[in-house]
Amino acid sequence: MYQKIDLSNDWRIFHCDLDQGLLGKAGRAYQHDYEPADAVTADVPVTAPTAWLEDGRIPDPYVGMNSRDILWMEQKEWWYLKNFNLERLDGHYRLTFEGINYRAEAWLNDVQIGVWEGSFLKQTIDLDPALLRSEGNRLAVRVRAQERAWEDGTQPDPRGFQNSSAHIRTQRPTPQYAYGWNWSPHLIAVGIWRPVVLEWMGAARFGETRILCDLSEDLETGTVRFTGVVEGLADTVRELAVEITARHPDGSTTEARHSLARIATGESAAIDLTLTFPKPELWFPNGFGAHPLYRIEARLVTANAEVCDQRMRRVGFRRVEFIPNTNDLEVQATSGQTNRLWSIVGKPYPWTMVVNGLRIFSKGTNWCPVDNLYRDRDAHVRRLLELARGAHYVFIRIWGGGLTESDFFYDCCDELGLLCLQEFWFACGSAPAMDCRVFLENAESELKRLRDRTSIALWGGGNEFNPDNHENRPVIDLIEELVARVDGTREFRRGSPYKGDRHGGLVSTPHYTTNKYRDLLPGRRRMVLLRSECAVGRSPTRTTNIRKFVPEKSLWPIDWEVYQNHHAQRPEWEEVSRPFGRASTWEQALLHASVLHCIDSRLNMEYARAGKYESSGCWTWQINASWPSFHREHIDWYGDPKPVYYWYKNACKPVISLADFERFVWHPGELLNPELHAVNDTHESVAIEVAVRVYTLDGIRQHEALDRVEIPADASLRLGRLDWRIPEDLAEQALYLALETTINGKVVHRNTYYVAVSPDTVFQTGLAIGEQLNLRYVGKTCEVSAPHYYTLAEIVDEPTEHDKEQKHAAQDELDAVYTTSFDLPASLNGRSLELYLPGISGDDTVILNDEIVGEGLLNLETEWNYEADPLRWPNLPSRHYAIPAKLIREQGNELQIRLSGRRLAPHTDKRFGLTRMIYLREATPAALQARMVDYDRDKAFFRPMVEGPQATVELTVVPGSSAGVHEVCLTNSGSTSAAFTVLDLVNEGEARFLFDEGAISALHPGETVRVALKIEGSLPADAAVEVRGLNCRVVRSAVARS
C-alpha cells in the first residue's frame, strides 16, 4: 500500500559560518552524533529567517528599518536536522525536496545522498535500503544562498530603499526580487521553502506521467489522456493495472483500466490511456461562464487491489487561442512609446485572446510573490485571487522576477476562472554567465509540475530583458525548445515586453499624457497592442495597517527614512499631493497621496477598453505586495484593498461609460471636449442610458445630457464629444464631469473626472499653429506636429539592462529648427498679438517673417522637464513673444523656432522640443502671465475642491439579509459634491472585511450609494464604518454585531 510519511515536524535549524558545518572544530554537522549548540525547532517548510523570527531571535524584519538588520543571515550556511523512525524497511522509499533556496546538499545517516542547485528544482532521491534504520534515522540538509548574494542590492538607493544592481541575481534560477527591488527589500529567505515528502512504495510505482486534457475544435468532444511509465520495484509481482477515474462536476464518473504484464525490478512499461467525454461542460474565464473541473485520478494497483502509486489532477475543458489584434501593424508603428525598442521589432505576436470561440478582452494584473519570507502563503493567495475575481479580472501575469507559483495558487486559479501567463526567472538584466544546465533543470522541473494546469494559457521567458541579444538568446532558445518538448500545448512568448506588448503605462500630467519613460503621447500615440505591465502611481494603504509596520514615532510628521525603506518615494509623494494642498493631519496626507494613483490606473484600463481590440488588454502592475509597502500594489500585504483597487475594479466592470482625457488642466473659455465611449464586454448587445453631467464646486449642475444607445456585443462604441464651453468666471476653479450608466433603470456604473481650470483667460483666442511643422534635424527634414521631441533621452536602464541595441540619443546633434506658415485669422486682425509657446524644452530663438521676436534660455535652477521614478511634473518655461503689428501679415506668415540643447545636455536627459501645442493669440497681460507661471509652479490644481465648499455626507450601516453582510448607505445631503470618498472599517480586531465599493470618485448632491460590506469573524463592540473625503468631515457609524 502506497504511503506518505510525514516529515514536517520538529526539524532543528541552526547556522554556521560558510563551510564550518563541514570543516569546523565542533565536527561535521551532517554526522549522526552531531549536536548543535544552539538551534531552533520548527516545522518545514520554513525558511531560516522565519524560523528565527518565530523563535524570537530577530526583530520583525517587516517593521521600521529592521529588514537591514538581518542581512547577516544569508552570509551563513543553514543546517536542517530531522530525526525519524520507520515502521517497515521492506519496499522502496523515495525522498523529495520540492523547493530549497538556493543551494543544497543532503545526508542520510552520515552518507551524502544529494547535491543540487536552484530555487525551483524538485529534487527526488531514491533511498538506498542499506542506509535505512527502523529507529534513529537522521536526515541533514545544508542550505546556502547564491554565492555573493549579499553584494547585490544591499546598498541603499538614493531614493531611500535597496535595489538590486543585477550583477549576481541574474545568473542563476532564483527569485530575482529578493535581491532588492523598488517594492521589495533585499531579503533572501534561505532555507526549505517547499515541502519535504517521504513516500513508501511496494511493488511498483509511476515514473514520469502526464494528465493531458484536450478539447476538439468544434468544442463537442473532450479527451483526457494519461501517459507515462510504470517502474517495477519487486520481482514477485505478477499482475499490475492502471485505473483511471474521472469524476464529473455533476458527480458521475467515467473509468478506464489497463492491465500490464509482469514488470521486474528495474524494468518499466509505457502507459497510454484515453477517456472520452462527449459534450463536456466547458471551462470559461471569470465573467464569461462557469469553471467546471473534472477530477482525474490514476492509480497503479496490484491484482489484490493494493494501491502502489497514484496521481490526481483537476482539469477543465477549454480551448485557448490568440489571434492578431485589429490593425496590429499600424498600432505598433503609431505607438509613441520609445523605451525598449527591441520589443516592437518585426511582426507582433497575436495578443487577442479567444476562449472556446469567445473573443475576450484581457482585463488583468501582474502577480508578485506574496511574502518575502514565504509564510502563510496559501491564506494570502486565496484572499488575493478572490479579490482578483471580484474585480472582473480574467488574466494574471506571474512576473518573471518572482516565483513559479504553488500548486495551491493554480488550484485557486482553476477554480476561479483566472487564466495565467507563467514566466521564467529573468528580470531586468542579461545573463552572460548563466549556467544553462542548472537553469534548464529547474525549468524542466517546473514545466512538468505545471503543464497540465487548466489556468495556464502561456509560458513566458521573463521580464524586461532583450531575449534576442547575444547574452540572452542562447538560453532563451533552449527554454523555447524545452517548452515545446515538455509541454507542446501552449505558446511560448520569449519575453515581456516583446513583439507588441508594452510596459509602463499612461501617466497624467497637467497638460499632456506621458509615461514612466517620459514620452509625449498625444492621441493614438497612447495606444499599444497589450499593456502587459501598467506601472503607474504609488499610494499608501489604510491607517490601521500602516501602524503595524511603521513605528508610532515615525508616523507623523512622516519619517521619510522609514517610509522610503518601505518604498515610498518622497519627491513623488509630495508632487502628487500638491494639487490638493498642504495636509494638516496624517490621515489627510494619506488621502492626498492616493488620488493620482487611482486616476492613472483608471485611465489605462479605460483607454485600452475604449480601443478594444486594437488593444487586447491591460494588466495593472501590481495586484499585491511581498511585504508592507507604499508602492504600486492595489492590495496591501495584509490583504486589504487600497482605494486604487476599487477605482480599477470600477473601470473593469462589464459595461461602463468613460471620458477620454489627455490632460486634467483646461482653460476658461475652452471647449471641454473629451471623447465619450461606452464599452460592453459581455457577448450580448446591451441597451444603456448614459447621463453626462458637469458640476461646479458649489454643487450647481452646469450641463446635462442623456444618451440612449445600444452597444453591440463585445464592443466599444464612440458616443461623441462632450463639447461644453468652460465659463470664464471659473478661472482657477475646478469641475466634476460625472457619467452614470443605467440598464433597465438600474445604475450599473458611475464615473467622475476631476477637471482643473487654469487662470489663462486668453487661451480661447488662440490659433493652434503647431499641427503641421517641418523639422530640420541631423541634416534631414520631416513633417511633425506638436507636441514633439526632436531628440530622445538616453534610455538604457543601465546597469540592469545590458541592451546595447537600445536607441541612444544623438550625442552631438542637439540643435533643431521647426518651421511652419500660417495666415492671420480675421478674429485676431487688428489686435495686439503674441506667439505663445508653452512648455519649451531647450534654449529657443523664435523668428517670424525673418525677424527675431524672442529668445529664451531655460533656467536649470527653476525649470525642468517631466521626470519619472520618482515622478515630477514638468515646470518648463512658457514663452509669450509679442509680435510687432508691422511684422504680421494677413497671409503667408513664416515662423521659425530654433531650439538648442547644447548648453543643457550635460545637466539633463536630452529631451528637447515642444512639449505642448504652440499658438498665435491675443497678447497676455503681464499680470496674467505672472498668475499663469504661479499656477503651474504651485500645482494647486484641485485645491479649490479641497478648500472650497464642504460636502455633507450621511452614513448608516444596517445588517443585510445574509449573515456577515451589512449594507452601508452613503448619502450626500448637502449642496456640494463629495470628492474622493473612501470607506474603511475601523477597530475591526481580528475580523476580515471587504467593501464591494470602497472608494467612490465623487458623491454628487442628492445622490445615494449603497455598498455591501462583508465581514468574516467577530467584531469588537467599538467597530465602525468610517468615511473620509477630500472635502467632507470624517463620519463614522457603528456596525451592529451579528
Confidence of residue 376 (pLDDT cuts 50, 70, 90): confident
Q: How far apart are CA 859 and CA 836, in angstroms?
A: 18
Range of the domain at 299: 202-315
Q: Could you tell me which residues come within 8 angstroms of residue 88 by beta carbon, excluding any fewer than 6 positions away?
A: 200
Q: Are residues 188 and 242 in the same domain?
A: no
- 81 and 206 belong to one structural domain: no
**Which of the listed residues 177, 199, 221 is the one where a domain comes to its end?**
199
Residue 158 has pLDDT above 80, yes or no: no
Which tens digits make up the pLDDT trace of 530-550? 999 999 999 999 999 999 999
Closest CA to 41 of 12, 9, 15: 12
Question: Looking at 315, 332, 353, which one is the last position of a domain?
Answer: 315
End-to-end CA distance of the chain: 49
Q: State how far the Cα of 63 lies from the Cα of 551, in Å rounded to an integer.
A: 7
Continuous segment of H or E residues that includes residue 100: strand 100-101
Residue 192 lies in a domain: yes
Q: What is the pLDDT of residue 1004?
A: 94
Q: Is 793 or 817 the better-scoring residue by pLDDT?
A: 817
The share of the chain scoring above pLDDT 70, in percent, equals 97
CA distance 148 to 938: 47
pLDDT digits (tens, 9 = 90+) for 666-684: 999 999 999 999 999 999 9
- The verdict on 298 and 444 lying in the same domain is no
CB atoms near residue 343 (< 10 Å): 22
Supply the DSSP symbol for 1017.
S
- At 1026, which helix (H) or strand (E)? strand 1024-1029
Domain boundary among 705, 723, 757: 757
Lowest pLDDT segment from 610-624, 737-751, 862-876: 862-876
CATH code at position 788: 2.60.120.260
Q: Single out the residue of 916, 914, 913, 918 nearest to residue 810, CA to CA.
A: 913
- So what's the pLDDT on residue 803? 35
| Shared domain check, 163 and 302 | no
Domain count, the chain: 6
Q: How far apart are CA 517 and CA 616, in angstroms?
A: 22
3-state DSSP assignment of residue 1016? strand
Same domain, 355 and 406: yes
Residue 615 lies in a domain: yes
Classify residue 568: in a domain, yes or no.
no
Domain assignment present for 249: yes
Whether 770 has a pLDDT exceeding 90, the answer reads yes
Rounded to whole angstroms, the Cα distance separating 320 from 215 reads 10
What pLDDT does residue 756 have? 98
Q: What are phi and psi of 538, to 5 degrees?
A: -145, 155
CA quadruple 510, 514, 515, 516: dihedral, nearest 10: -60
Positive or negative CA dihedral for 515, 518, 523, 526?
Answer: negative
- CB burial string 68-87: b at 16+ within 10 A, e below: eebbebbbbbbbbbbebeee
In this structure, the number of other CB atoms found within 10 A of the CB of residue 854 comes to 18
- Residues 852 and 912 both lie in one domain: yes
Shared domain for 408 and 513, answered yes or no, is yes
Q: Are residues 827 and 906 in the same domain?
A: yes
Q: What is the CATH number of the domain that holds 745?
A: 2.60.40.10
Both 93 and 172 in one domain: the answer is: yes
Q: Residue 628 in 3-state DSSP?
A: coil
User: pLDDT at residue 575 above 90?
Assistant: yes
Half-sphere exposure of 411 (CA within 13 A, CB side): 9
Whether 666 is in a domain gets the answer yes
- Whether residue 557 is contained in a domain is answered as no
Q: Do residues 1010 and 969 touch, judged by C-beta distance below 8 A?
A: yes
**φ, ψ for residue 725 (rounded to 5)?**
-85, 130
pLDDT digits (tens, 9 = 90+) for 51-105: 999 999 999 999 999 999 999 999 999 999 999 999 999 889 999 999 999 999 9
Q: Is the pLDDT score of 39 beyond 60?
A: yes
* Torsion sign across C-alpha atoms 564, 566, 571, 574: negative
The whole-angstrom separation of Cα 175 and Cα 400 is 8
Q: Are residues 843 and 704 part of one domain? A: no
Mean pLDDT calculated for residue range 635-642: 98
Residue 464 in 3-state DSSP?
coil
Quote the pLDDT of residue 1019. Answer: 92
The rounded radius of gyration (Å) of the Cα atoms in the chain is 32
In this predicted model, what pLDDT tens digit does every residue of 268-302 receive, in sequence order?
999 999 999 999 999 999 999 999 999 999 999 99
What pLDDT shows up at residue 793?
46
> Residue 845 and residue 135: Cα distance in Å, rounded?
90
| pLDDT for position 792 | 61
Confidence bin at 808 (pLDDT 50/70/90): very low
Share of the chain above pLDDT 90, in %: 87
Is the pTM above the cut of 0.85? yes
Q: Are residues 772 and 815 in the same domain?
A: yes
Q: Is residue 582 part of a domain?
A: no
Instruction: Please tell me the predicted confidence (pLDDT) of residue 888.
Output: 96
Does some domain include residue 570? no
Tell me if residue 947 falls in helix, strand or coil. Answer: helix
Rounded distance between C-alpha atoms, residue 299 and residue 297, angstroms? 7
- The Cα 402–Cα 622 span in angstroms is 12
Contact by Cβ (8 Å): 612, 654 = no
Q: How many Cα atoms within 13 Å fall on the side-chain side of residue 13?
A: 29
What is the three-class DSSP state of 82? strand
Are 114 and 208 contained in the same domain? no
